[in-house]
Amino acid sequence: SPQAPWWKNASIYQIYPASYKDSNGDGIGDLPGIIGKLDYIQSLGVDAIWLCPMYDSPQYDMGYDISNYEDVYAPYGTVADVETLITACHDRGMRILLDLVINHTSHEHAWFKQSRTSKDSPKRDWYIWRPARYENGVRRPPNNWRSIFGGSAWEWDEASREYYLHLFAVQQPDLNWENADTRAAVYESAMKFWLRKGIDGFRVDTVNMYSKNQSFRDAPIIDPQHEWQPAWSLYCNGPRMHEFLREMGQILLEYNAMTVGELPNTPQIADVLGYVSAKAQQLSMVFQFDVVDIGQGTDLRFNTVPRNWTLPDLRERIARTQQLSDGTADGWSTTFLENHDQARSISRWGSEETPESWQRSAKMLAMLVASLSGTLYVYQGQEIGMVNAPVEWEISEYKDLDSINYYDFVRTVTKSNPVALAKAKAALAHLARDHARLPMQWDATPNAGFTSEEAKPWMRVHDGYAALNVKRQTVDSNSVLNFWRELLRVRRENPKLFAQGVFSDTDPSHESVFVYEKGSTDAKLVVALNFTGKAQSVDLASRLSGSSYKTLVKNCEEEPLDSLQAYEGRIYRLEKQ
């Protein structure tokens, strides 16, 4: 049988270049900074890194708006720096993935600049242009689709007198994948240019949005209070999606590159399998959003309140997504709780109340995500238990256009109603993407060692860095950092149980303690996690009796089989009789 691919049992560390490590004191993280931290990254025990976009970009959306696929954003470094990084990873036996952002480009990409010159431009059809529709003589966008960052998904171009589609920001026009020349140019420029340099694969941004429903009809009205409607059903998982990915798959195969596709709005397992089944040969795995979407508004993402979730809801989402990688389906997926678009997991599902509850819950959540099946992704700072920005921070500290647009939207529609604005701020303090983008906390020196002491970091450093940083946790054998190292080692040593075990939730309706099993042919794991800040009684004795077992990982000293302390977690390994 062919050798199992390297990525199945792998742990992958995600790096956000702007916020990792600044090497030259301009307040912006950069490639030399990352290269200088590779020994640290290797010491975690990860197999690969995924680097968020480092391409040339005007940075309206932190590099997800690319103006040149074949160049690097100057403050991050040069193409030569990326080559150095690739070699340095490979020298350490690690692999490297780049971000592939090809649903849209920046409005400053040469293709779009040409496309917008006139209706007759040879590149006109590389983007999605449509005439206005007029209602009572008033110019209106072609349909009612809402942009993912708010407002209409269409922008009027006065010079060429048509609207272009942008599912994300105005500065991120969508490419027209219906055009074969466009696709060929994307493959050449965005993919092959970097594959030839020896990268090992891609994280594929918004992988299910390239094929839009070509009717461009109005989306059904699901949010009657607002003008523009969420239109997922008309631009996600469209009719030619699989055809496009099969085409792309040929190139990936040629370079033996793996892919992890970002797959929002796809709750049906059968639909997910269309992308990741071994038969389909399209993507190696995907990021499903079921778990991280918990507690978010259905109409407006931030239209929600903190702690708007229950444990039964969370475990149902986990059970649903675990099916993909636990051997019961012909497919593969991922396990993750954080990335650059998500608030910090401890602030969402754990506790920051006291140093003890913070540390305990950081380890408990680490046990959760690392014991699940699928390829494991760890986001920078997660390994030291970084948390959301303090709730007291002013709105002006938030830099993400998604947060800013949302707050401005609330301000406009409520005419600055103070109650509504306070609610919007609380929602952002809980869920904004900014929380993942605070500078990495390396040590207790001013600016947390992220940049030089005199510099002004592009985003404010968390006030708690003196207590919560890499240096301090390195020398503390009980730290979250050293716990992660141990956990990743145990996961690597037990691939059949951790990365590939068959998940079963034995008590799906339990509100406070999450106990589940991960099975294989000769052994199983019993994982017990207390999601509350109080001691809870459990019956572990009956689950462990009759087999020989040992504790693989735990976050408390004592191990009574009838109770768990606040945020306690344990992972047992049981041999089959």
Residues labelled as active-site residues = 205, 262
Q: Which of 201, 238, 264, 381 binds ligand TEU (CB under 6 A)?
A: 264
Whole-number Cα distances in Å, 134 to 154, 160, 292, 420: 14, 17, 40, 34
Of the candidates 389, 447, 166, 427, which has an alpha carbon nearest to the alpha carbon of residue 303?
427
Which of Ca ion, ligand TEU, none does 148 bind, CB closer than 5 to 8 A by kind?
ligand TEU
**Which of the residues 161 through 190 are near ligand TEU (CB under 6 A)?**
168
In the complex, the smallest distance separating the C-beta of residue 287 from ligand TEU, rounded to whole angstroms, is 9
Residue with smaller CB distance to Ca ion, 75 or 331: 75
User: Site for Ca ion (CB under 5 A): which residue of 8, 26, 216, 247?
Assistant: 26
Query: Residue 73 Cβ, how far from Ca ion at the closest point, in Å?
Result: 11
64 forms part of the interface with ligand TEU (CB under 6 A): yes
Give 60 or 244: the residue with its C-beta nearer to ligand TEU.
60
Q: What is the CA radius of gyration of the chain?
A: 24
Q: Contacting ligand TEU (CB under 6 A), which of 30, 61, 162, 383?
A: 61
Strands 201-204 and 95-100: parallel
Distance in Å, CB of 28 to Ca ion, minimum: 4
Count of chain residues binding ligand TEU (CB under 6 A):
13
Residue 177 corresponds to which tokens in the numbers above?
């994948």
Nearer to Ca ion, 24 or 414 (CB): 24
| Cβ proximity of 438 and 460 under 8 Å | yes
22 binding Ca ion? (CB under 5 A): yes
Q: Out of ligand TEU, Ca ion, none, which partner does residue 24 contact, by CB within 5 to 8 A per kind? A: Ca ion
Tell which one of 10, 12, 18, 28 touches Ca ion (CB under 5 A): 28
Q: If binding means CB under 5 A, how many residues of this protein chain bind Ca ion? A: 5
| Integer Cα distance of 354 and 561 in angstroms | 26
C-alpha dist (Å) from residue 349 to 106, 185, 317, 383, 537: 35, 43, 14, 16, 20
**523-530 vs 513-519, strand pairing mode:** antiparallel
Beta-strand pair 48-51/55-56: unpaired
- Residues 96, 100, 101, 257: which binds ligand TEU (CB under 6 A)? 101
Subset of 404-463 contacting ligand TEU (CB under 6 A): none
> What whole-number distance in Å separates Cα of residue 337 and Cα of residue 345?
6
- Which of 153, 104, 95, 146 minimizes the C-alpha distance to 126? 104
Residue 465 touching ligand TEU (CB under 6 A): no
Q: Which of 10, 51, 148, 314 binds ligand TEU (CB under 6 A)?
A: 148
* Residue 56 interacts with, from Ca ion, ligand TEU, none (CB under 5-8 Å by kind): none
Binding to ligand TEU (CB under 6 A): which residues in 282-301?
A: 301
The item of ligand TEU, Ca ion, none sharing an interface with residue 26, based on CB under 5 to 8 Å by kind, is Ca ion
3-class SS of residue 100: strand
What is the DSSP secondary structure assignment for residue 191, as one 8-state letter? Answer: I
164 φ, ψ (degrees, to nearest 5): -115, 155
Could you tell me which stretch among 19-27, 182-190, 309-317, 519-527 binds Ca ion (CB under 5 A)? Answer: 19-27
Angle of the 241-254 helix axis to the 269-276 helix axis, nearest 10: 30
Question: E strand or H helix at 537, and its extent?
Answer: strand 536-537
- Residue number of the CB closest to ligand TEU reads 64
Task: Compare residues 22 and 205 and give the one whose CB is closer to ligand TEU.
Answer: 205
Q: For ligand TEU, give the closer residue by CB, 42 or 303.
A: 303
Q: How far apart are CA 160 and CA 140, in angstroms?
A: 16
* Among 28-36, 82-90, 181-189, 458-466, the segment contacting Ca ion (CB under 5 A): 28-36
Using alpha carbons, select from 107, 94, 15, 91 the residue that is nearest to residue 48: 94
- Among 376, 377, 383, 364, CA closest to 500: 376
Binder of Ca ion out of 24, 42, 281, 504 (CB under 5 A): 24
Strands 162-165 and 154-157: antiparallel
Please state, in angstroms and rounded to a whole number, the distance separating the CA atoms of residues 417 and 396. Answer: 18
Work out what residue 101 binds among Ca ion, ligand TEU, none; the CB cut-off runs from 5 to 8 Å by kind: ligand TEU
Is position 205 an interface residue for ligand TEU (rule: CB under 6 A)? yes
| Closest residue to bound Ca ion by CB | 30
Q: How near is the Cβ of 203 to ligand TEU at its closest, in Å?
A: 9
Binding site residues, ligand TEU, CB under 6 A: 61, 64, 101, 148, 168, 205-206, 262, 264, 301, 340-341, 402
Binding site residues, Ca ion, CB under 5 A: 22, 24, 26, 28, 30
